[in-house]
Amino acid sequence: MPSHTLIRVHRTFNKTGQQNGHYPCSNASGWRYVKGGLLPPPISTGPNSRAFIREELDAVLSARVGGADDAAIKRLVADLVARRADNKGGI
């Protein structure tokens, strides 16, 4: 059974200089990246709660650091989201 670390949506994005947050961008930019397929969308963790999967965000950050362009990031994000469907019930 895969193990995942979840990051609540409100703790995911951070502007430069802030200590809390996992992904280095503003909330507006973060949601623009999700909408544009450059970040995987959060999952529902309850009726009024959503969270990002930390390992997915780490994979995107690693690809960015490695020099991946937007097209490669979009393919990575699509693959990460597809894996969720494959693991449904196994999380």
Instruction: Write down the pTM of the prediction.
Output: 0.82
Tokens 């280095």, residue?
24
For 78, the 3-state DSSP assignment is: helix
With cut-offs at 50, 70 and 90, classify the pLDDT of residue 90. Answer: low
The two most distant CA atoms of the chain are separated, in Å, by: 38
* Distance (Å, whole) CA 86 – CA 29: 29
Q: Which letter, b or e, does each residue of 2-36 get, where b requires 16 or more Cβ atoms within 10 Å of its Cβ? A: eeeebbebeebbbeeeeeebbbebeeeebbebbee
Q: Which amino acid is at 7?
A: I
Tell me how far apart the terminal alpha carbons of the chain are, to the nearest angstrom. 7
Residue pLDDT, tens place only, 44-83: 999 999 999 999 999 999 999 999 999 999 999 999 999 9
